[in-house]
Structures are given as C-alpha cells and as structure tokens.
C-alpha cells in the first residue's frame, strides 16, 4: 500500500448505500479493536440517524457541538470530540445532520469540507473511521473525498450485493474528480452464517464479480451484536471473547499494516 500523502491518520470510510449491512457495527468494533492494539482512533458519525453516537452511549439530544457544526465550519473537530469508554474518540452526530446536507448543497467545494475539517486532527490520530449514512448524498461524497481508503460492509445474503455496482461507479467518479488517492480495500463480509451454503457462495462470488478484495475473516451473525448498543459499548467490551469480537479483531489486525 502507498503511504499516506498527508502525515498522521489514515482515514477509512465504511460505506454502502444500503441500510442494515453493519456499517455502524463495523465502525464501532474495528475502532475498539484498533484501540486495543494501542492505536489512537477517531470515529466519525456521518449518519443523520446518529446510530453510532447512540450505540456508544451518547444521547444525540445532549450533544452540543456535533459533526454538523464541523461540516458547516462553525467548530473544529477537537471542540466536538467525545472520549468513549472503548478507548477511542467520537465525533458525534445529531438528528438534524440532514439539515447540514441541505446547507452544504449550494456551497462551492461542498465535497471537500470534511477533508478540510479533518486536516487539523490527522496528526492526533493513527486511524479515523467514517461511518456513512445509507445514501450516496453529499455527506457520503464528503466521506469518500476525505478518505484514503474504502471498506464496503456487505451481508452474505442473496441480493445483498445489489447496489454495490452503483457504489463502485460513484467511487470511480470520486477517484476521477474529487480524490485521486482513494483506495478500495474491499468488501467486509458481515452477518455471515457459516452453516449456510448460500452464504459461502455469495462470499465466493462477490469478489470475482466486482474485482474486489474480500477482507477476512467474515463477521459471523450472532445475537451478541444486538446487545452491545443497549449497553453503550462495542461488542469487544460487551462480549469480549465472542466469535464476532474475535473476527473483528482479526480483520483489524490484517489492516494494521496499511495504517
Ligand atoms: P448499518 O449501519 O449498515 O445500517 P448496523 O451496524 O446498524 O448497520 O447493523 C444493522 C443491525 O444488524 C443492527 O441491529 C445490528 O445490531 C445488527 N448486526 C450487525 N452485525 C451483526 C452480526 N454480525 N450479527 C448479528 N447482528 C448484527
Ligand atoms: Mg449505520
């Protein structure tokens, strides 16, 4: 992998315009796994539904300075970050991030505001993970423009890869116009049922079909993931030695050398 052109953190976006594919779960879990390895980690909640913020025990209604103010140039990242018990920092969202999307639209250079805002914070972190909303709107374009790399979480279920082609078309446009250096690190298979032959077939097919790397191991489907957000911690804390936590640790370990 080419080293980052800017010193400091590698910025990695987790994006897929489908909802429910484990973007948010993967951001929290990989963030916790990188933190366990001693890395300085920042997670950015770019979803107006604020699920990442909420799942880490922060009530979006109590957030005074959010990613919203940062995107609109009214606050620095460092003014808005919250330290979480999992050992990483969070740039929280609030429910009206949808308003930020609308306010950004008429602005020149609107795709670059996140990249610019993160510049001052890159030196403070080793890795910055961007949790995207289920859309390909201007905030997701900001994420792809700010990112060094993209991971596409994808459940190993029939039809779950529909839409991946559209995402990759957007990525190709971003690489042409907005961010030449964006690397696609690959698909992260999620919600994987190892007993299902179909899941194995989807897993085998998706890499070849889209000429994408498939990160390993796949993240198993387990009920332990449903419990973690209610406790306000990632699964690495709520179910330390579960198969799901272990899988995320292994994926994180495989990515460490690229950071
Ligand atoms: P997204 O951010 O893509 O919308 P989420 O991370 O919010 O997806 O996950 C959607 C739902 O799936 C959540 O209820 C989450 O708890 C659950 N989930 C995520 N990963 C797993 C898994 N490996 N096993 C079981 N449930 C999971
Ligand atoms: Mg989400």
pLDDT, tens digit, 9 for 90 and up, residues 43-72: 999 999 999 999 999 999 999 999 999 999
Distance 162 CA to ligand 1 centre (A): 18
pLDDT per position as a tens digit, 11-22: 999 999 999 999
CB atoms within 10 A of CB 103: 14
Q: Give me the percent of the chain exceeding a pLDDT of 70.
A: 97
Mean pLDDT across the stretch 65-90? 96
| Cis before 144 (ω within 30) | no
Report field, pTM of the whole predicted structure over 0.75: yes
> What sign does the dihedral 158-159-165-167 (CA atoms) show?
negative
CA 259 to each of CA 2, 110, 112, 213, 233: distance values in angstroms, whole numbers, following the listed order: 10, 27, 22, 17, 24
Identify the CA nearest to 246 among candidates 225, 229, 232, 227: 225
Confidence of residue 99 (pLDDT cuts 50, 70, 90): confident
Average pLDDT, the chain: 93
Q: Dump pLDDT digits (tens) for 170-195.
A: 999 999 999 999 999 999 999 999 89
Kindly give the distance from the C-alpha atom of residue 151 to the centroid of ligand 1, in angstroms, as a whole number.
16
- Nearest ligand to residue 17 Cα: 1
Q: What percent of the chain has pLDDT above 90?
A: 81
Q: How far is the CA of 24 from the centre of ligand 2 (A)?
A: 4
Of ligand 1's listed atoms, the one at least distance from the Cα of 226 is 16
How far, in Å, from the CA of 231 to the mean position of ligand 1?
15
CA distance 243 to 18: 25
The pLDDT, as a whole number, for residue 97 is 67
Average pLDDT over residues 110-118: 97
174 token code pair: 């971003």
pLDDT of residue 4: 43
| CATH superfamily name and code, 10-254 | P-loop containing nucleotide triphosphate hydrolases (3.40.50.300)
Q: Point out which residues pair with 152 in neighbouring strands.
A: 187
- What number is the average pLDDT over the span 109-126? 97
At residue 1, the pLDDT reads 42
Residue 124 class from Cβ within 10 Å (0-12 exposed, 13-18 middle, 19+ buried)?
A: middle
Enumerate residues with CB within 5 Å of ligand 2 (an ion).
23-24, 51
Q: Rounded CA gap, 148 and 162, in Å?
A: 24
Tell me the average pLDDT across 228-234.
88
Per-residue pLDDT at 147: 98
Ligand 1 residue neighbourhood (C-beta within 6 Å) = 19-25, 51, 134, 190-191, 219, 221-222, 225-226, 244
Segment 195-217, tens digit of pLDDT:
988 888 888 888 888 899 999 99
Please choose from 14, 18, 24, 25 the residue to mutate so as to test ligand 1's pocket, defined by most ligand atoms within 8 A of CB: 25
Centre of ligand 2 from the C-alpha of residue 53, in Å:
10
Question: What pLDDT was estimated at residue 226?
Answer: 84
Beta-sheet pairing, 82-83 with 89-91: antiparallel
d(CA 207, CA 173): 21
Statement: residue 165 has pLDDT above 70: yes
The token pair at 149 is: 């790399």
pLDDT at 143 over 90: yes
Could you give the C-alpha distances from 166 to 10, 15, 18, in angstroms and in order? 25, 12, 11
């Amino acid at each position: 992998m080419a080293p980052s052109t800017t010193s400091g953190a590698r910025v990695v976006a987790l994006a897929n315009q489908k909802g429910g594919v484990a973007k948010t779960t993967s951001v929290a879990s990989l963030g916790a796994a990188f933190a366990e390895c001693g890395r300085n980690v920042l997670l950015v909640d770019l979803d107006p539904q604020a699920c990442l913020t909420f799942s880490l025990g922060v009530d979006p209604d109590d957030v005074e300075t959010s990613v919203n103010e940062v995107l609109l140039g009214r606050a620095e990242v460092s003014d808005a970050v919250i330290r979480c018990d999992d050992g990483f920092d969070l740039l929280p969202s609030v429910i009206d991030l949808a308003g930020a999307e609308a306010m950004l639209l008429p602005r020149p250079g609107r795709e670059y505001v996140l990249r610019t805002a993160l510049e001052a914070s890159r030196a403070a972190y080793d890795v910055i993970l961007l949790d995207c909303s289920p859309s390909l709107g201007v905030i997701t374009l900001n994420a792809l423009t700010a990112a060094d790399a993209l991971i596409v979480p994808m459940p190993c279920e029939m039809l779950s890869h529909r839409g991946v082609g559209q995402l990759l078309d957007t990525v190709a446009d971003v690489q042409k116009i907005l961010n030449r250096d964006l690397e696609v690190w690959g698909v992260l298979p999620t919600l994987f049922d190892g007993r299902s032959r179909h899941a194995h077939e989807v897993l085998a097919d998706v890499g070849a079909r889209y000429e994408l790397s498939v990160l390993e191991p796949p993240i198993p489907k387990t009920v332990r993931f449903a419990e973690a957000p209610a406790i306000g911690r990632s699964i690495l804390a709520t179910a330390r030695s579960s198969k799901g936590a272990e899988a995320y640790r292994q994926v994180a370990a495989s990515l460490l050398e690229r950071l």
